[in-house]
Amino acid sequence: MSITDAEKAIKDTVDKATYQRLVKDVSAVKDDIATLTDQITDAINTFAGAAKKQARHGYKQARTSMDSALDEASERGSAMLDATQDAAVSLQETVEDMIAERPLTTVGLALGLGFLIGVSLRR
């Protein structure tokens, strides 16, 4: 370890015991700084690990919620489709029954509706 001019001047003006105490104190401060650096690094790594874990947990929850919502929407869509198909079949059966029971009334109704539609489309 080389001694600079400033260190030599300090050494010359301060007694040897004081100089050794200063060197020891500087060395202790360096060690404390190194220890603090290690502790800060460990704290940052711990924080990063916890943040990563929370992000994964949040992602899994969001995905589960989205899957659940999609399943529910699919089930509702299927139920609505089934209800619509049942209503269409019921309407078809009702119309068929009405035509079978009153064929002349049905033909008259169809002619009347056709006439009304034709008149409204002309305007």
CB atoms inside a 10 Å sphere around CB 17:
8
In this predicted structure, the answer to whether residue 43 has a pLDDT above a threshold of 60 is: yes
CA dihedral 20, 26, 29, 30 (to 10 degrees): -120
Phi-psi region of 2 (alpha: psi -120 to 50; beta: other; left: phi over 0): beta
In this predicted structure, the answer to whether residue 10 has a pLDDT above a threshold of 70 is: no
In this predicted structure, the answer to whether residue 1 has a pLDDT above a threshold of 60 is: no
| pTM for the whole structure | 0.45
Least confident of 29-38, 76-85, 96-105: 96-105
